[in-house]
Amino acid sequence: MLLLFARTAQTMSSHARKIMMSKGRLEAFSDGVIAVVITIMVLELKVPHGNDWSALQPLIQKFISYAMSFLYVNIYWNNHHHLLKACREVNAAIMWFNLLLLFFISLIPFVTAWLGESNYSAHPAAIYSIVLLLSALAYYLLQSAIVR
């Protein structure tokens, strides 16, 4: 899938490369997607049924996975903000790589919930790691498209 995105971006005609979008629209869309991702993650934390500290005990694993993912998503949001400041124009390749990045970031709530629910079992942890790795690769492709 990543190769398809990379090939699509590289083989666009010169006409397609001239199609531009305002940087503000791209930033606003990305900020909105990331805000929804964070909202979905926090909604996975269910209110405990008790009213003392022991009622929070079953939520510790979920909270740790949420906090880890919250930090990760916000690092991407911050880096994305600074990366787009360096961007002079937004072409089709940048739009596609940005969408690829947002796609992988949008999977983080699912793998976060699975990781917290499974008590950090091997398969959910592996899938979580793969999603984070693919997010990093998509960010690298976006960064490369902007630097070009």
What's the per-residue H, E or C state across 48-84? Answer: CCCCCHHHHHHHHHHHHHHHHHHHHHHHHHHHHHHHH
Say which residue the tokens 């072409």 belong to. 91
Name which residue leads in pLDDT, 89 or 105: 105
Give the pLDDT confidence score for residue 13 in this predicted structure: 43
Band of residue 137 on the pLDDT scale cut at 50, 70, 90: very high
**pLDDT at residue 97 greater than cutoff 80:** yes
Angle, CA 48 vertex, CA 45 and CA 52 arms, to 5°: 135
Query: Once rounded to an integer, what is the mean pLDDT over residues 81-86?
Result: 93
Give the pLDDT confidence score for residue 148 in this predicted structure: 82
- Report pTM: 0.83
Q: CA dist 116 to 43, 58, 66, 113, Å?
A: 13, 10, 8, 5
**pLDDT at residue 83 greater than cutoff 80:** yes
Gap between the Cα atoms of 47 and 55, Å rounded? 9
For residue range 27-41, list pLDDT tens digits in order. Answer: 999 999 999 999 999
For residue range 112-128, list pLDDT tens digits in order. Answer: 999 999 989 999 999 99
